[in-house]
Structure 1
């Protein structure tokens, strides 16, 4: 093991963490400012700008995977990312500070994310042929659901504008609209670059230490595309902005399936392996538990810890499954 090699990768790891930290802070600050400027709730911004932006790594990975006709990566990336988002991103955010849940999130957005996961299960198990194929037509169906979601967000934003009070504008009056936009775009770029450095350098260090590629793939790489969501939600939770923290998770999960998986299937039909049924079943179960945890409109620290512990158990299962 060359000392210079490890030092270089360790330096990139630290630099990546710095980029992610600063990027997440600017995304949250800029997104909150944009919400106030547009007179919409932080939840709307969390479900759209922040959620779609932090899902950029998943989008890139899936487009490349679809073009190369690698269905396993395309499907595994999305399902794994969504499980990570709920159990780790939302779980750690709740452990940091209890997450307040809006009534609309409990009754509409979380159930919609459940429907998204259920749609993949249904499309992946239709017919008697194995493996099943998620066709281009199926991809169009998923994209149609995404347009419905976007229409719902626009309707929510319209209602927010009607109810928004001018006094709410005071807190961020000193940040111009253009500066807020620059914060969000620059922050997202920082998240993507920093996340890539973290994944690549951590993988190199792990290999240098003799850790197997399988273990690296199941841990570092699997969680790598969700680093932007994790960093953004943790910063939002630390700042007491739970609407962005939870909206980012739910919005990303909906975007990942309806848009990214939809685009992936349109580019190239996806071959669905039935082994994924277990993972999607887990995704459905934890989404139901997210609804149950949110019944009192708050996810507390104990519930957050339980979610993180569940992910540890799931990772152990993946290692055993191989």
Structure 2
């Protein structure tokens, strides 16, 4: 198929990605401000709307993919985004600024992420993703949010960037409702565009939906995490920078991965476990060692970013070699 024939699909993919990232930001701010007007506490807003909002692109893309029968893309998006968050997003963030390590990462957040990653592996081990599997992940999501709520309420630490909190607080009620509705509509439309464009390109080149989900779509839906983490690091809000990545990975596995199991249960390619899940698990364990080894010196050194980016390039090369 010629490039000209693929032009509509490429345009839909690129436009879908841009609108998806923008609309996710607008939707989260509108939803958070609306919740504030309803009297919901900032802590609850931060742990639910804002934290889940970082995974909003993945959630909507996976929903549209599952509805369109592209379950492989949905699964690939969830796992691929986690791989991208650790190797690509954290890698770039570490190059931008040395990231300080706080004790709570080792004692609280990292153990939850590691446990969630193991649970996801056990759920996927039978190479099926059905309603029962989805329910297990959703129950784990509720437990994880509760644990994070307890930890955050005890520490009293902010989980939302100061500038982001200021925008939420300053948003008038009518604007909040407008962006809540408009952002939601734009998310649905843009995710539909992205899925159509991605699957069209995949089918034209004989590439599986899974590979497209693990690569182009995963990188695209990880852009909000990249933007948020780099911006936070440049502002000196390093705890929020790495917190964005860890929180997003937890929600990707517990809120995004169950979606195809609910909408259209599917049989999973064995490569998802043997190649993709093991890569994600390896990177997660690697993140544990990076944080543990960096704790004494107080920061994650910049050269770690180079190692993580090299790992991501190697993974992309592996996917390419197995897809041709």
**TM-score, with structure 1 as normaliser:** 0.72
Of 134, 142, 145, 1:147 maps to: 142
**Other-structure match for 1:240:** 236
Q: CA deviation at 1:225?
A: 1.3
Of 134, 137, 161, 2:132 maps to: 137
Q: CA deviation at 1:20?
A: 6.1
**Other-structure match for 2:101:** 101
- Mapped to 2, the partners of 1:56 and 1:172 lie a distance apart of 17
Q: CA deviation at 1:70?
A: 2.8
SS of 2:171's partner is: helix
Please state if 1:251 is matched with 2:247. yes
Structure 2 spans left out of the alignment, 5+ residues:
none
- Mapped to 2, the partners of 1:237 and 1:315 lie a distance apart of 26
Once the two structures are superposed, the pairs formed by residues 18-57 of structure 1 within 5 Å of their partners are 45=46, 48-57=48-57
Q: CA deviation at 1:95?
A: 0.8
Of 278, 283, 291, 2:280 maps to: 283
- Shifted more, 279-288 versus 213-222: the winner is 213-222
- Mapped to 1, the partners of 2:22 and 2:59 lie a distance apart of 22
Gap change, CA 1:20 and 1:62, over 3 Å in 2: closer
Q: CA deviation at 1:125?
A: 2.1
Gap change, CA 1:173 and 1:232, over 3 Å in 2: closer
Gap change, CA 1:19 and 1:241, over 3 Å in 2: farther
- Mapped to 2, the partners of 1:103 and 1:180 lie a distance apart of 38
Please state if 1:271 is matched with 2:271. no
Q: CA deviation at 1:59?
A: 0.5
Once the two structures are superposed, the pairs formed by residues 108-257 of structure 1 within 5 Å of their partners are 108-126=108-126, 132-161=127-156, 177-179=169-171, 189=183, 214=207, 217=212, 219-257=215-253
- Mapped to 1, the partners of 2:19 and 2:247 lie a distance apart of 25
Residue correspondences, number: 297
**Other-structure match for 2:303:** 302
**TM-score, with structure 2 as normaliser:** 0.71
SS of 1:240's partner is: coil
- Mapped to 2, the partners of 1:171 and 1:222 lie a distance apart of 27
Q: CA deviation at 1:212?
A: 5.8
- Mapped to 1, the partners of 2:24 and 2:137 lie a distance apart of 31
SS of 1:294's partner is: helix
Structure 1 spans left out of the alignment, 5+ residues:
127-131, 165-169
